[in-house]
Amino acid sequence: MIRNYFKIAWRNLARNRAFSAINIVGLAFGLASCLLISLYVLDELNFDRYHEKADRIVRVIFRGTVQGGKMNESHVMPPTAQVLKADYPEVLESTRLRQAGSPTVVLGDQKYTGDQMAFADANFFQVFTLPFRKGDAKTALVEPNTVVISEQLAAKYFGKTDPIGKTLAFKNASAVFKVTGVMEKIPANSHFHFDLFASMASFEDAKSPSWMISEFFTYLVLPEGYDYKQLEAKLPQTVEKYMGPQLKQAMGVSLSEFRKGGNDLGLYLQPLMDIHLHSDFAYDLGNNGDIKYVYIFGAVALIMLLIACINFMNLSTASASKRAREVGVRKVMGSQKKELVWQFLLESMLLSFIALVLAGLFAFAALPLFNSLSGKNLSLQLDAIPTLLPGILLFGLLVGVLAGSYPAFFLASFKPVAVLKGRFTSGKKSIGLRSGLVVVQFFISITLMIGTTIVYQQLSYIQNKKLGYNKDQVLILPDAWALGKNQEVFRDELLRDPRVATVSSSGYLPAGPSYNNNFMVYPDNQTTQFVKTLRYDVDVNYIPALGMEMAAGRNFSSDFGTDSSAVIINETAAAQLGWKGNALNRTITNMNNEGNKGTYRVIGVVKDFHFKSFHERISPLVMVLGKGAGTMIVKIKTKDVTGLLASLKNQWDVFKPEQPFSYSFLDERFNDTYKAEQKIGQILGVFAGLTIFVACLGLFGLATFTAEQRTKEIGVRKVLGASIGSIVGLLSKDFLKLVLIALVLAAPVAWYAMSQWLQSFEYQVSIAWWMFVLAGLLAIGVALFTISFQSIKAALMNPVTSLRGE
């Protein structure tokens, strides 16, 4: 029986090649899209899950509100880990990480750069699952001046020699570190990536009792089944007990007085597996994802599959009349309904598995492009994901059953007497269902098109909005620190080049990675009301190099010795300090962690500029005159950028610094800030195009079927004098009505969804009416083109041919 089912199924697919091809290609695109996006979603959801204690590890984070400004920090104070472990028995383990940058490793005559290092507590490898190739994970970081390296670094530094017991020196560090362990490479789906872990006992600031500095990433291990919210509810008393007294000493206000002013400070907990997708910190250990994009991509995958399944159901029910007599004969010969259902389901599954094979080929071919769009390095290798092949096969079976279930029951329900007498009609209910499914397809497609249009408009708005600084032709040299005492000499050489307009030394950049310093200031020597600002250490050329404008006052100048105790504030800081319009010559006071005051005079107000992403509102900023922080900002004035870069590299190499010459452009750093939005725009654009393509495949099939069903009607109309245009309009108008209905339904849904997305931007584009009209016209145009191909073909047919049998 099964063999017979397969024979009939194969013959039917071969007999209806056009419909079968449309179904297979549509399903293949849907399955391939779903497969690729599922790989992306699974990769995002699997971050940090490889740790054995992943479900029990939480990170301690710091949040606060100061004068309406939000403080969200992923690192906390040095004593936090020890205090929480001592005060709360539910904290089974606590451990810390502290970034150490990318130091120059000195090994004999060889020097190595570019490897990321962090200080870690002795129990770090008992909390996190990072298997050792050599050494003892329990004792590797117990002693000061010990270091654990990755197996890649072991090969790089020592070749095939056993690295255990060998020593590493770091430039500008007097201590020598002994290698006590070699670990496996940290997986890509981790929220931190380091090549070296040095013992925290080697880092002096780790012993600090201060609750007024941070920079320590702190993790806790809790008991199995324990709700971390219970511990989080106890943390305010920790803040009151330990941070309160130090706040009083440093700022002259108690924690309760601080909170009465509408401010707040607090410690909170974040589950380890939430870090990658649920973090909103200005600074973190890696580039985190965003859960809303996982939801969007997951929805797109389901949408692609849904549209492909709708095609299958539409075409199967539409072509039912061709198989009506077959069903009638088989029922008369004794076939039961369940046997017919199994027959048609088997046809559906056969088609689904053919589409699945084709989808696999599509997915392999498209994977490099998808990796480029998503910024991932995903793989379809079966050994990499053992459950991939069984999952795909089960998925194909499920799609075949779901997509084929309605057509199977629909076809098996025909009454043999009616169909054998030639009185079979699809019925209004069937036609209504097909029309509804077409509306669903184009509703989804138009929604995606509107969404894509709005995403690109927002990106265009970001690119074209006035930033308050000029990002064009600004060259960043991030490793100027490697020049040491020769920085000034190198700077003077740059200024002699006529292609260079000016040079500034500052690590505080308005786009991309930058130094950041919080700065609590009191206006006019007040001690009760203060404003949280960011502090930028700049030189006299900083504002001219970036093309910023002064709203009042003047820039720093080397002609004024008193500028060492002067500041320039932005317009937002002036407003929050209550000095809007009269900030010049006012004073601000800053109190450091030891309680010492620093008083500064305001000599200028710079116009507000966007030094954070458009997701955040411009916050108060204070600029002070300071020494260069190892980064040079070079404003250039030439089209011969390649020649200038070659010249700069030659000048750099004269000084023989340990760091190779490297550079970036400020406009590129700005664009990198919005990589996530660019990716979502590109991916939405690709899949919006694919949904339209798959929907049009189905529309093409339905138009073909409709033209076949109305062949004799078209012949009669032509004999009676109907024009080709009227016949094309007759065959097209019903489908165009469905597209218009889809547009009307899609517009409010797309408006609401994209309004929600735009809420994440403090500065956003307005949703305009023309965006909906554009998407609607595009959908109607594509649909009309698809339908007209078959409509014109039917209208041009000789009526003698269609009426010959009458």
Sequential DSSP letters for 235-272: HHHHIIIIIHHHHHHHHS--HHHHHHTT-EEEEEEEEG
pLDDT at site 580? 81
pLDDT at site 181? 93
For residue 546, pLDDT over 60 is answered with yes
**Dist. CA 309–CA 405, nearest whole Å:** 11
For residue 745, pLDDT over 80 is answered with yes
The arithmetic mean of pLDDT across residues 447-469, rounded, is: 82
**Dist. CA 457–CA 754, nearest whole Å:** 12
Contact between 691 and 450 (Cβ < 8 Å): no
Contact between 424 and 418 (Cβ < 8 Å): yes
Quick one: which of 687, 674, 692 has its CA closest to 783?
A: 692
167 forms beta bridges with: 178
Neighbours of 270 (CB within 10 A): 19
pLDDT per position as a tens digit, 393-415: 777 677 767 666 766 666 666 56
Confidence of residue 146 (pLDDT cuts 50, 70, 90): very high
CA dihedral (726, 730, 732, 737) in degrees, to 10, reads 120
The arithmetic mean of pLDDT across residues 700-707, rounded, is: 70
Confidence of residue 120 (pLDDT cuts 50, 70, 90): very high
**Dist. CA 14–CA 27, nearest whole Å:** 17
Quick one: which of 518, 517, 66, 77 has its CA closest to 253?
A: 66
pLDDT at site 238? 92
Confidence of residue 197 (pLDDT cuts 50, 70, 90): very high
What is residue 289's three-state secondary structure?
coil
**Dist. CA 458–CA 452, nearest whole Å:** 10
DSSP state of 94: E
pLDDT at site 205? 83
For residue 805, pLDDT over 60 is answered with no
What is residue 552's three-state secondary structure?
strand
pLDDT at site 593? 44
Query: Which of 277-286, 423-432, 604-613, 727-736 has the least mean pLDDT?
Result: 423-432
pLDDT per position as a tens digit, 270-287: 999 999 988 877 678 877
Task: Return the sign of the alpha-carbon dihedral for residues 632, 636, 641, 645.
Answer: negative
The share of the chain scoring above pLDDT 70, in percent, equals 81
The arithmetic mean of pLDDT across residues 681-700, rounded, is: 77
Residues 6+ apart with CB under 8 A from 587: 523, 524, 525, 599, 600, 601, 602
Kindly state the helix (H) or strand (E) to which residue 118 belongs, with its residue range. Answer: strand 117-120
**Dist. CA 133–CA 138, nearest whole Å:** 13
pLDDT at site 128? 94
Quick one: which of 675, 670, 611, 674 has its CA closest to 472?
A: 670
Confidence of residue 68 (pLDDT cuts 50, 70, 90): low
Q: Is 803 exposed, middle or buried (0-12, 13-18, 19+ CB in 10 A)?
A: middle
Q: pTM to 2 decimals?
A: 0.76
CA dihedral (522, 524, 525, 528) in degrees, to 10, reads -50
Task: Return the sign of the alpha-carbon dihedral for residues 172, 177, 179, 182.
Answer: negative
pLDDT at site 217? 94
Quick one: which of 518, 475, 470 has its CA closest to 661?
A: 475
For residue 57, pLDDT over 70 is answered with yes
Mean of all residue pLDDT scores within the chain: 81
Confidence of residue 594 (pLDDT cuts 50, 70, 90): very low
Contact between 473 and 663 (Cβ < 8 Å): no
Order of all β-strands in the sheet with 632-636: 500-505, 632-636, 474-477, 664-665
**Dist. CA 210–CA 207, nearest whole Å:** 9
pLDDT at site 91? 93
Altogether, the residues listed in the chain come to a count of: 806
The arithmetic mean of pLDDT across residues 245-261, rounded, is: 73
R_g (Cα) of the chain, nearest Å: 34
